[in-house]
A = this chain, B = another copy of it.
Amino acid sequence: MKLITIPDLKAMIRQVGIDAFLQQTLNALEDAFEHWHEFSKSPRHATHYPQGVIELMPCANRDFYSFKYVNGHPKNTQQGRLSVTAVGLLAETDSGYPLMISEMTLLTAIRTAATGALGAKHLARPESHRLAIIGTGAQAEFQLMAMQPLFPITQVTFYDPDPQAMAKFARNLTGKVDLIACTSIEQAVAEADIVITATAAKKHNQLITTDMLKPGTHINGMGGDCPGKTELDPELLTQCKIVVEYLPQSREEGEIQLMKELPVYAELWELVCGQKPGRENSEELTLFDCVGFALEDYAVLRQVYQLASDLGIGEEVELVPSLDNPKDLYGFLMSP
């Protein structure tokens, strides 16, 4: 059984290159969504606390089973800790034996960004070149980097109430794109072709209203992803063509959680498989209400398992016993 630690994953991404890695993730996601009906799916299992949420996200097809453990504790950053950490496991279904345990804090950021990009690929205007990011926390740079291969992004406007988070974002991306630090959300989104919201506060926020946006804008709503946590004005939702990942989960967790009767245009797989068109004209407002779905973790864990095998990365650890006689667990335990 393979163990992929933080240093392992950093080494893997350094060897592959972050751009190529993100492209591989996007490909893996497209492949997974194309085979949507071959997966067993369920809403994630969530345990809620006053200070945050802890979730298990399983997903499986005939060959592989995966799950992710992930938490969301917005106030962790006040103690210098991450608000989201994650660990994942990949197993083979034939035997049920686990194959790999991997860090997924970094992988969650990467697969979330790639999923956002996949949504935008089908919903944003192809010529989109002005991107706005609201919330420049741990997710923000990945979101931009996943978009860049798909759209001719020349300008990024960004806003976060935390000036240090803004400075960090600018520092990491200097020289890669034209960056405009904004003093308000209104300013950041006013001219944007694509708007990404990725904030952490667990409340019903109304960061963006319809009047702030020009026609034809696409929104990737990444941070409305938990019961009690939304980012957009409900009225704005009524103006948008809305696409989600997996409706039973998004109804509970997404931007649409407050509007149970609101029609949803499609699940993402329907666009990926060509069963429904994505954007149909240059005027419509579109929203990818992205909450994060277990299929995405499956896709990136498969990618990492393959890379780990190809590149010889990751220690083999003995987390499952190897017995001469599989019925003699007791003898195995007591042997020296």
Contacts and interface: CB of A to CB of B under 8 A. Distances in A.
A264 interface: no
A65 B76 contact: no
A203 interface: no
Contacts of A42: 45
A261 interface: no
B317 A18 contact: no
A262 interface: no
Given A76-B96, A85-B98, A320-B85, A58 B60 contact: no
A101 B101 contact: yes
Interface in A78-127: 79-83, 85, 87, 89, 91, 93-98, 101, 103, 105-106, 109
Contact of A321 (B56, B82, B140, B165): B82
Given A45-B45, A60-B47, A333 B95 contact: no
A10 B333 contact: yes
Interface stretch (A29-37, A67-75, A236-244): A67-75
Q: Report which residue of A7, A109, A328 has the largest number of chain B beta carbons within 10 angstroms of its beta carbon.
A: A328
Nearest to A75: B95
Contacts of A105: 320-321, 329
Which DSSP category, helix, strand, loop or mixed, fits chain A's interface?
Answer: mixed
Contacts of A47: 40, 58, 60, 65
Contacts of A138: 326-330
Contacts of A162: 327
Nearest to A329: B138
A91 B106 contact: no
A293 B192 CA distance: 51
A73 B164 CA distance: 52
Given A18-B334, A320-B6, A328 B168 contact: yes
A77 B326 contact: yes
Contacts of A3: 3, 317, 319
A216 B45 CA distance: 42
A318 interface: yes
A76 B95 contact: yes
Interface in A252-281: none
A172 interface: yes
12 contacts: A3-B317, A54-B96, A81-B326, A82-B320, A85-B98, A101-B319, A106-B333, A142-B329, A164-B325, A164-B327, A171-B331, A172-B330
Interface of A: 3, 5-7, 10, 13, 18, 40, 42, 45, 47, 49, 51-54, 56, 58, 60, 62, 65, 67, 69, 71-73, 76-77, 79-83, 85, 87, 89, 91, 93-98, 101, 103, 105-106, 109, 136-142, 162, 164-165, 168, 171-172, 317-321, 323-331, 333-334
Given A42-B45, A71-B97, A85-B98, 7 more contacts: A6-B321, A7-B318, A10-B333, A54-B60, A103-B318, A105-B329, A106-B321
